[in-house]
């Protein structure tokens, strides 16, 4: 069994003078959910196409599930499911026919897999509808159904939550989580919905202008996020004096006071009690945590 489900070494792809992907070294462990983040044009889709053998690297190489990708588009595709960019389907074929066509091209003998995946992606009521008449959300479900049809060991998904309604987003998130946790499926997903990546990924890679500028474990992200206690009160001055005399270092921004001390963040109830006793009762008290979006924006701004 390979150590990595995905491994790229100095992966570089140039289109003429444009370097879309520049010396990217990716290592995605088996069973991981890897969130791949980047702005538009950062190189996410080109990287995904290189992982799937759709574009040939200008330099470097790609391995998926321990097998070299290419030359001639060869790879372990019977064990890989994918969804690249916006989903597509043959518009004159029904949902069932589209999936049956995919089944045949995957060489799967058992026709029941089509009905199983239709049930799994909640497409039963659309099964006999022509794909050309589907909403973008259901087309996305069809794309995901095709990616999951052959029970792959590795899923490479470009924006899997695109076009889905909020309930659909949650449903797909839970589906991917259960595939990873219960069946050991590796998920490599790009997304611009950072909260989705934040909630699902066990590791995150950030690509910017073709370069992988940061990789971090979800736990590390949790630790590095700045946390603050936000306090609002009608007696700002009294509250600040009271907090300073208790040894804290409050700072004011607009109508609020912020504390960054771990003790304050862990015991907001004690802060509230202190402020009440000082004659500055809080009208609002909340722990604020920097999210992935802010971290991402900060990082890409620094890399400009």
**Using CB under 8 A, which of the segments 23-31, 91-99, 234-242, 274-282 binds another protein?**
91-99
**Using CB under 8 A, which of the segments 35-43, 77-85, 162-170, 180-188 binds another protein?**
77-85
Q: Measured from the CB atom, is 158 or 198 closer to another protein?
A: 158
Is position 89 an interface residue for another protein (rule: CB under 8 A)? Answer: yes
Instruction: Please answer whether residues 251 and 228 qualify as being in contact, where contact means their C-beta atoms are separated by less than 8 angstroms.
Output: no
Helix 95-105 vs helix 136-148: crossing angle, to nearest 10: 30
Q: Among 10, 18, 25, 104, which residue interacts with another protein (rule: CB under 8 A)?
A: 104
Residue 30: exposure state from Cβ atoms within 10 A (0-12, 13-18, ≥19)? middle
**Using CB under 8 A, which of the segments 53-61, 118-126, 209-217, 237-245 binds another protein?**
53-61
Q: Among 24, 28, 95, 102, which residue interacts with another protein (rule: CB under 8 A)?
A: 102
SS3 46: helix
**Using CB under 8 A, which of the segments 30-38, 83-91, 173-181, 186-194 binds another protein?**
83-91
Q: Among 25, 59, 90, 284, which residue interacts with another protein (rule: CB under 8 A)?
A: 90
Cis peptide before 143 (omega within 30 of 0): no
Distance from C-alpha of 5 to C-alpha of 154, rounded to nearest angstrom: 7
Distance from C-alpha of 292 to C-alpha of 217, rounded to nearest angstrom: 12
Instruction: Please answer whether residues 81 and 149 qualify as being in contact, where contact means their C-beta atoms are separated by less than 8 angstroms.
Output: yes
Instruction: Please answer whether residues 239 and 259 qualify as being in contact, where contact means their C-beta atoms are separated by less than 8 angstroms.
Output: no
Mask 139-158, x = binds another protein (CB under 8 A)? -------x------------
Interacting positions 12-31 with another protein (CB under 8 A): 15
Helix 166-183 vs helix 136-148: crossing angle, to nearest 10: 10
* Residue ranges in contact with another protein by CB under 8 A: 15, 49, 52-56, 71-75, 77-78, 80, 82, 84-86, 88-93, 97, 101-102, 104-107, 146
């Amino acid at each position: 069994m390979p150590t990595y489900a995905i491994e790229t070494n100095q992966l570089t792809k140039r289109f003429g003078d444009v370097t879309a992907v520049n010396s990217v070294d990716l290592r995605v462990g088996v069973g991981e959910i890897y969130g791949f983040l980047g702005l538009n044009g950062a190189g996410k889709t080109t990287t995904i196409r290189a992982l799937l053998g759709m574009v040939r690297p200008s330099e470097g190489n790609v391995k998926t599930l321990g097998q070299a990708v290419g030359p001639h588009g060869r790879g372990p595709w019977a064990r890989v499911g994918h969804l690249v960019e916006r989903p597509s389907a043959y518009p004159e074929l029904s949902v069932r026919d589209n999936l049956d066509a995919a089944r045949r091209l995957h060489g799967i003998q058992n026709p029941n897999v089509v009905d199983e995946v239709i049930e799994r992606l909640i497409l039963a009521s659309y099964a006999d509808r022509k794909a050309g008449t589907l909403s973008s959300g259901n087309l996305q479900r069809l794309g995901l159904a095709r990616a999951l049809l052959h029970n792959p060991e590795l899923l490479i998904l470009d924006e899997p939550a695109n076009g889905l309604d909020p309930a659909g987003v949650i449903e797909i998130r839970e589906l991917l989580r259960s595939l990873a946790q219960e069946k050991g499926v590796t998920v490599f997903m790009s997304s611009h919905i950072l909260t989705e990546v934040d909630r699902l990924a066990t590791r995150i890679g950030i690509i910017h202008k073709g370069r992988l500028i940061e990789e971090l474990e979800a736990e590390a992200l949790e630790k590095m996020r700045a946390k603050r206690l936000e306090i609002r009160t009608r007696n700002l001055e009294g509250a600040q004096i009271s907090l300073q005399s208790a040894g804290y270092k409050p700072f004011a921004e607009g109508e609020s006071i912020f504390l960054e001390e771990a003790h304050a963040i862990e015991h907001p109830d004690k802060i509230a009690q202190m402020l009440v006793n000082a004659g500055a009762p809080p009208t609002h008290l909340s722990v604020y945590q920097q999210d992935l979006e802010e971290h991402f924006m900060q990082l890409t701004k620094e890399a400009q």
